[in-house]
Structure 1
Amino acid sequence: MAKNAKALRTKGVLYPYNTPRHMKLMNQLFDGSKNPHEVAKDLNFRAESKQMDIHSILLSDEDISCRRDLSVLAKFREHFDVKVIFCLRRQDLWLESWYFQNVKWQWRPALCHLTVNEFFERRAQFPWMDYKAHITHLEKLFGRENVLLNVFERDQMPEGPIANFAALMGLELDDSFTTPPKRNASLTPLVSEMMRCLPLDEAPTDYRVVFDRACGKVDEIIRETQPEAAGSLILSHEQRRIILDEHAAGNAWVAERYFGRDELFHDPVPDENAKISELKLPADSYETMETLVAPLVRALINAHKAKSKQ
């Protein structure tokens, strides 16, 4: 969004505060250090200060749905006509992606070093996976007519998630907009398992970024030399079945209520023959050194050299 802030303004949409995501603002709103009414006043001031007509203000943060109670955001309705755009991903695929992200970024020490089986057993800690309950909460706060949904599947957003998101806002993208690369940001299971074993959560954020980029270099090598290692399915077939059974009724409710159909998700569920990637390091210690440790250290050395030249 931040990269398209200028293009959005030409369409009458203000993406404020020059930040990739509004995480800091959301944290301040939810911890009470900022008042929604004061923020609304500031947003209106910023909109009115622009040299073009601004009809909408866009706030976005991927972790908003992680909050159990969003009522503080409903206070913006006293100042704006608030619309909520919420993207739905099938719960089994979402949990796998969430596992990879927790291991990669390590912002929650209680989760980032868990095995995938341990993470699966903690799924009750992610109540936003219950789309019926979460959407019911949104409807109560903002009104059903103001809850706009899309489904994160290729055939349900053929122009891509960015274009689909823009369409829900009433915008049509043109050449002035940039779109992110389509490659999934998740690491290969092998590199992810290496990162799970590293205490990156103990490192300062700026130093953690150095390690993350170095691990990304290792991941590129793995993808080039071991393309078969790039699988993203890590839940067992039984775990996948359990998750989908747990959410079947809620998903059906959302499908009928918002899309007038029986099934919310169209993509086929991986069958029993689908390959499940194992999250484990090589048994041979020398192979681990050659495949993972040496490339990681080399990437860190190169990063240090590059910084020294600045």
Structure 2
Amino acid sequence: MGIERTLTLHVGHHKTGTSTIQAFLYANRTKLARMGLDFPTRGIYYRPPGMVENLSGGHRFFAFAVTGTTPVWLDGGVRIPGGESSIRALRQHLASHAGDVLLSSEHFFTKIAPDELRGFFDGLGFRIRILLYLRRQDLLLESLFNQNVKNGYVTVPFSRFVEREIEDRQGYGYTYRRVSALARAFGPENLIIRPFEKSRFSGGTLLEDFVAALGLPWDEGFHIPANWNESIPVEIIEVLVRFQRYLDGLDEKPRWRFCELVQRQCRPLCAGTDSYRLFTPDEAMATMNHFEDNNRRIAREFMPGSRGCLFTEPVYDPGRPWRTYPGPDAEFLVRCAVAIWKAGYDAGQCAAPSLRK
């Protein structure tokens, strides 16, 4: 009887360095293959015709094909295969791999029901492991807000965004429900849960921790790509929130273009710090108290040896400075508005101001 192959599904979670991990995997796919791990990058389910080389997107198109969905940001000329014939082709493609395989997409965690995900891989001859990173909810919500505003999805203040996420029991902070569903589908012994905390990263970095979680040795010859999908300065987030309130009715793509314009023109005007927090210390601690039961249950049930503690880094350390963002001053907003207008004027999209009285 042959040696059982392992299929590792890296499923995120959101805002845990997934894009950077995927860029690392893509850049080192040849070296990883020599180490016995295949990170597939070929075929229409990994890069559909018409798409540029997929450096940091992982296997999102694989997930889209499984679910039969097409993201709104995809150009109209790119088609993602779907349906039963696509499912059969995907299964045949995976089954053809002789060794261990790694697939990476946050959509495996958020868009596909665990039972459905398990059913897709049944019968392919793999032992399946789930690799999941979880981030402290106060930091997760701040980063999610940053990401959603940056992409034009959120136009409400941070406080309202947090209220919505806490009110929604399916929100990103309530991870126990999804983790327990994965455990039922794949077996708790096949879950690898890693806290997204620098002090607990093996080797001191996320990428070294990820490689260790795969059971592979770190190679000093690995190529380390630049960080992907980084947060933008809080000052820019505040500008975007204020300006986007007046963009009701715009489709998503024009919103994205506007957000890119604001970031490009206003970033040079920032104070040059990214150390601001959106929560006050009391708000951050209250948020973590709210999710305490969620986190304790994950640690107790699925993290042997954790002593019921999912996160160990303190929410607030009196010995370290905490800078809650005070909000932009009027001068900064005016300078941003002028920079945005000037960019439009230079591109011929804005009329010159009249000097007549």
Q: TM-score band, normalised by the shorter chain?
A: 0.7 to 0.9
| Partner residue of 1:41 out of 92, 105, 118 | 92
Structure 2: state its 5+ residue gaps. Answer: 1-24, 41-45, 48-53, 70-81, 349-357
Shift of residue 214, structure 1, vs aligned partner: 6.3
Contact 2:240 2:259 in 1 (8 A): no
Matched residue SS, 2:193: strand
CA contact (8 A) 1:22 1:60 kept: yes
Q: Which residue of 1 aligns with 2:330?
A: 283
Alpha-carbon distance in 2 for matches of 1:68, 1:92: 25
Matched residue, 2:100: 56
Q: Find out whether 1:28 has 2:65 as its counterpart.
A: yes
* Cα contact 2:67–2:112 (8 A) shared by 1: no
How far did residue 30 of structure 1 move?
A: 2.3
* Paired AA for residue 156 in structure 2: L
Pair 15,68 (structure 1): closer, same or farther in 2 beyond 3 Å: closer
Mapped contact 1:65–1:128 kept (Cα < 8 A): no
C-alpha distance 262-113 of structure 1, shift in aligned 2 (>3 A): same
Higher fraction of strand? 2
The partner residue of 1:88 within 134, 138, 146 is: 134
Deviation at 1:295, TM superposition (A): 4.4
Q: Percent identity?
A: 21
Distance in 2, matches of 1:39 and 1:183, equals 28
Provide the C-alpha distance between the structure 2 equivalents of 1:167 and 1:72, rounded to a whole number of angstroms. Answer: 28
Residue 232 and residue 23 in structure 1: after superposition, are their counterparts in 2 closer, same or farther (change >3 A)? farther
TM-score (norm 1): 0.78
The question of whether the paired residues in 2 share the 8 Å contact of 1:23 and 1:63 is answered with yes
Partner of 2:194, secondary structure, is strand
The answer on whether the counterparts of 1:90 and 1:265 sit within 8 Å (CA) in structure 2 is yes
- The 5 Å alignment of 1:149-168 reads 149-159=193-203, 160-168=205-213
SS in 2 for 1:93: helix
Match of 2:180 in 1: 136
Aligned letter for 2:63? M
The counterpart of 2:158, out of the listed 108, 116, 124, is 116
Higher helix share: 1
Q: Distance in 2 between matches of 1:242 and 1:59?
A: 36
Q: Would you say 1:9 and 2:60 are equivalent positions?
A: no
Measured at CA, do residues 301 and 40 of structure 1 come closer, stay the same or move farther in structure 2, by a change above 3 Å? farther
Equivalent residue letter for 2:329: P
Instruction: Look up the match of 2:288.
Output: 244
RMSD between aligned alpha carbons?
3.2
Whole-angstrom CA distance in 2 between matches of 1:37 and 1:188? 45
CA, structure 1 residues 177+105, in 2 after alignment: closer, same or farther (shift >3 Å)? farther
User: For the residues of structure 2 that align with 1:179 and 1:202, how far apart are their CA atoms?
Assistant: 37
CA distance in 2, matches of 1:122, 1:68: 23
Q: 2:214 aligns with which of 169, 173, 188?
A: 169
CA distance in 1, matches of 2:346, 2:219: 39
Q: Which runs of 5+ in 1 are unaligned?
A: 48-53, 305-310
Q: 1:15, 1:59 within 8 Å by CA — same for their partners in 2?
A: yes
Partners of 1:78 and 1:232 lie apart in 2 by 50
Q: 1:143 Cα deviation (Å)?
A: 0.6
Deviates more, 1:18-27 or 1:184-193: 18-27
Alpha carbons of structure 1 residues 174 and 241: separation in structure 2 relative to 1, 3 Å: same
Shift of 1:147: 0.7
